[in-house]
Chains A and B, each alone.
Chain A
Amino acid sequence: MATNGNPKLPSWPAVPILKPEEVYAGLSDQAKDYPLFLESIVRQEHNFEKPEALADIRVLDCSTRMMIGHWCSSQLAELGAEVIQVEPPGGDPLRQLTPFGRREYMFKDKETGEEVGAQFLHEMRNKLSVTLNLEAEEGREILKQLVVHADVLIENAPPGQFDAWGIGYRQLKEINPRLVYCWVGQRGQWGPLKDKEGMVEPTAQASCGFVHGTGDPKEFGGTPMRSALWMADHVGGTTAAMGILAAIHYRNTVSGEGQFVEATSAEAIIRILDYSWVWHSMDGSIRPRFGNWDLAINIYAVNPCKDGYMMVGGGHDRLWYRIWRVVGDEYPKVEDDILGDPHLREVADRLAYNQQVKTYTMLCEWLKDNSRSEAERKLSKQQVASGGVLYVNEVAEYPHFKYRGHVAEYESPHYGKILYGTTPFLQHRTPGRLKWLGRPTGYDNQDVYRRLLGFTREDFKRLEAVTATAGEDEEEL
């Protein structure tokens, strides 16, 4: 039965997942030895028999309306930290987002009927949800009490907001000197752009040079292009997690004190815009868009093929000749032409734009007659790395990814079956794992406030007065 009980839709997986006997059939013991050893130590089936690396860490994720903080706390949560998402009354406004505004794409809580969009749902993993109105003085006092019990606090309010409210780093470190306080955002808490508003990706991507460098060149009729995803938030969230873990390491091994972490989506991308900066500083070059080809390696590109788009890679000489050998099996004239071309003899000469035009035009003479799987099969016989551009329905059904559990299905007591991308943190001793996906707003108020702050029924009544949702006050994203 499909994940929404709709008999018309195929359930996942449409094709059963392979078993180890099938995957390693016909291999010698020696050939099977290493992969089976790896399976014995990292297969996700064993996850829950193993401890969690960050089991002693508690995180308060107070970020809202942006993915970077949630992405960061997801990394920590998957690795075992107790993450409490502190949401404004009515929940993080991100919960309301859904593609093209379609309510029917949202996931509904069986008990309360509360709807949540898939984007928020996918990142609400292993986290508890409490509501707290930080705009109210009383709410901030409660946060100060919670901070006593926390190792990490993540927030993404406009620069200086929490400080002005008395719950910034400068104030909270007096309450809990061991606290690692992490501010996340698009462009930063200080500097000429700090007050430029705009909290949602692709703000960061546009500001750091990524958008300008992505997409087809103007000469192909192209424009700068954003990533489909709020990608800079993912990278920024991961850098925030690295910073937080480094700070915890230093606290635990040396200083006994926390510190202030600042991570921005834009700077995370600037860090990995590889050679743009050194190149510019050497001769003033400005990195151009180059479409799906590469400025520094040929053959290393995605080009159209018979049934979609195909990546073929082979920067070295050895691979170059093997690729053309495969092409030559069907188009000997093409192989002859390439082999006879003096301008393509040296690896370095192949990089010039004109040479890349010739290379890929000729490669496409072959690609146009080969589907993604055919091309991959033929190229792999020559140990050339290649593969088709896959769409999400194909990713979800790809045998290798299903076998390794890149995609899995979780049955939520609230939302039913959910297909999701699993954590890539595979480890021998303390693997990352999913404990639950999705959490209704404020679901853990009773547990968290009672357990950590000793709330009585009276206290909860007062909390309700402070955090109760008045429908019209719902905060817009």
Chain B
Amino acid sequence: MLLICPSCKTKNFLDPYPFWNFKGTTKCADCGKIWRIETSNGACVKGPDAATGNADLLPGFAEKQDYSGISGPGLTRPAPQARPDSVCRPIPMKKNVRGNVIAGYPLKKEDLVGSVAKFMIAGAK
């Protein structure tokens, strides 16, 4: 459910699985106001009504009307992570987890012989 905060108009994304049939409170990720809502099969059937106390469940993500994103501890629920520092952008990797050479970073035409990186032909150590 998309909850547009009645107070600050932030778009709070109440992701489908946990919020499909939900009765309780959530919190705007930007202004922090607590809202009581009730959803049934994904549609909001009650609320949002102003409430107090701790939120039952935080949004999955949020953004302002200008698309600037809001997420973080205490604001939105944490993302599943494969490594401690996830960035969701290509990460150049020159060495692998046991310290050996891998072709894990962008190359230039000059770096290649045929389709293979020069440093790989020269010897992996």
Contacts and interface: CB of A to CB of B under 8 A. Distances in A.
B52 interface: no
B16 A364 contact: yes
Contacts of A360: 15-16
B80 interface: yes
B77 interface: yes
The 3 closest A-B pairs by CB, nearest first: A368-B42, A352-B88, A353-B79
Contacts of A282: 93, 96-97, 102, 104
A468 to B, nearest CB: 56
Contact of B82 (A279, A292, A305, A357): A279
A9 B2 CA distance: 43
Nearest to A333: B2
Interface string B28-65: 00000000000001110000000000000000110100
Given A219-B77, A353-B79, A358-B13, A365 B2 contact: yes
B82 A217 contact: no
Contact of A304 (B16, B89, B90): B16
A288 B82 contact: yes
A286 interface: yes
Given A304-B16, A341-B67, A357 B93 contact: no
Interface in A258-315: 279-292, 295, 303-306
A287 B15 contact: no
Interface in B1-40: 1-2, 13-18, 20
Interface of B: 1-2, 13-18, 20, 41-43, 60-61, 63, 67, 69, 71, 76-83, 86, 88-91, 93, 96-98, 102, 104
B17 A281 contact: no
A382 interface: no
Contacts of B91: 283
Given A361-B1, A364-B42, A216 B83 contact: no
Interface centre among B42, B63, B86, B90 (most CB of A within 10 A): B42
A219 B78 contact: yes
Nearest to A287: B82
Contacts of B89: 348
A285 B98 CA distance: 13
Contacts of A352: 88
Interface in A360-374: 360-362, 364-365, 367-369
Interface in A59-102: none
A54 B70 CA distance: 62
Contacts of A292: 17
B88 A361 contact: no
Given A352-B88, A361-B16, A288 B43 contact: no
A328 to B, nearest CB: 15
Given A357-B15, A367-B42, 19 more contacts: A216-B17, A218-B80, A220-B15, A220-B77, A282-B96, A283-B97, A286-B82, A295-B82, A304-B20, A304-B41, A305-B42, A354-B71, A354-B79, A357-B61, A360-B16, A361-B15, A361-B16, A364-B16, A367-B16
A349 B88 CA distance: 8
Contact of B88 (A218, A291, A351): A351
A71 B123 CA distance: 46
A474 B2 CA distance: 60
A162 B44 CA distance: 63
B102 A361 contact: no
Interface in A190-233: 216-221
Given A219-B80, A353-B80, A364-B42, A283 B93 contact: yes
A119 B80 CA distance: 36
A285 B83 contact: yes
Given A304-B42, A358-B13, A283 B80 contact: no
A342 interface: yes
A342 B88 CA distance: 16
A368 B69 contact: no
Interface centre among B2, B16, B18, B76 (most CB of A within 10 A): B16
